Amino acid sequence: MEKSTDSSRMKTSGKLFTIGLISFWYSSNIGVILLNKYLLSNYGFKYPIFLTMCHMTACALLSYIAIAWLKVVPMQTVRSRVQFTKIATLSAVFCASVVAGNISLRYLPVSFNQAVGATTPFFTAVFAYLMTLKREGWLTYVTLIPVVTGVIIASGVRILVTVMDLFRLRRRRETGDHRTVGEPSFHLFGFLMCVGATAARALKTVLQGILLSSEAEKLNSMNLLMYMAPIAVVCLIPAALIMEKNVVGITIALAKEDTKFIWYLLFNSTLAYFVNLTNFLVTKHTSALTLQVLGNAKGAVAVVISILIFRNPVTVTGMLGYCLTVIGVVLYSEAKKRNK
């Protein structure tokens, strides 16, 4: 009787641990998206490359502490120069995806950013076919139709609203009416950066499968991050100094002017690491498919929270487009599961 009681207690504690882990993963994931948006758009810190460099620096330091000191996972070594080249390639693509994603948050609402980001399976399927000639089942490709259609609906609505806002603004200026029209809800450069970030994330997934497919070279995600992050920092330092002139001086000045800013930056960078850590732990304690399904729901939660916090304008048609995309991603996950 005591053994069964102990067994049930262990199962209950295991479930509570998994629920707590998922909650922490959700919190860190949504938190870093919203804080990025706040810093880059609302706060006015318009330096996405430098912000990404802070994220990667935190990932490099904290992943080393987690592996070398806390022994979260066993440390794996880089076995050859060829393997290092592969990791560096992955780091460059990963870096491009994060920078482009942060740039897009300067111009786009989080809700629209998440809608475009949900099309990652579409780009993954395209890159997988182009680079490996790997074909999925016909049902998998069919499920990608609502994924893309939803974003087309959402972006089409935003483009139309923006054109109408600009037209009304022009007419008011012509008639001497200086009342303001709402801020345009669509930004072409931001949209292109968001699509670029989504495509780069998909490319990184495919490249990771190709470059580190060898059993001798395979690294778990925690060790891979530990080696990728410092390479990303080395790439981002010159990019930030050249493209975001005097960013270090501006950051120091902001920190002196508002002490909260430095805490925002530190907290944001730490959250960026915990996104990767909890991603790994949730996969370990559940499954990759569960992580994908939870990720779909996370996007919807992020949209709702961002609307409540930032009050960004949302149309019914735009929300229907986003919902259609999420439904498509869920169907895509199920189709992939059946093919396996």
Q: Tell me the per-residue pLDDT of 134-154, one tens digit each, with 9 for 90 and over.
A: 777 778 788 888 877 877 776
> Among 113-122, 199-208, 252-261, 293-302, which is the least confidently predicted range?
293-302
Cβ atoms of 321 and 161 closer than 8 Å: no
- Report if residue 139 sits inside a domain: yes
pLDDT tens digits, one per residue of 71-83: 989 999 998 898 9
Number of domains in the chain: 1
pLDDT of the residue at 290: 61
How far apart CA 60 and CA 233 sit, in angstroms, is 9
Q: For residues 324 and 193, which has the higher predicted lDDT (pLDDT)?
A: 193
- Report if residue 30 sits inside a domain: no
Strands of 58-125, DSSP E: none
Query: What pTM was estimated for this model as a whole?
Result: 0.79
Residue 325 is part of which domain span? Answer: 43-339
- Report if residue 178 sits inside a domain: yes
5: pLDDT strictly greater than 70 = no
Sign of the dihedral defined by the CA atoms of residues 100, 105, 107, 113, in that order: positive
CA atoms within 13 A on the CB side of 276: 23
- Report if residue 36 sits inside a domain: no
- Report if residue 32 sits inside a domain: no
- Report if residue 196 sits inside a domain: yes
DSSP secondary structure of 210-266: HHT-STTT---HHHHHHHHHHHHHHHHHHHHHHHSTTHHHHHHHHHHH-HHHHHHHH
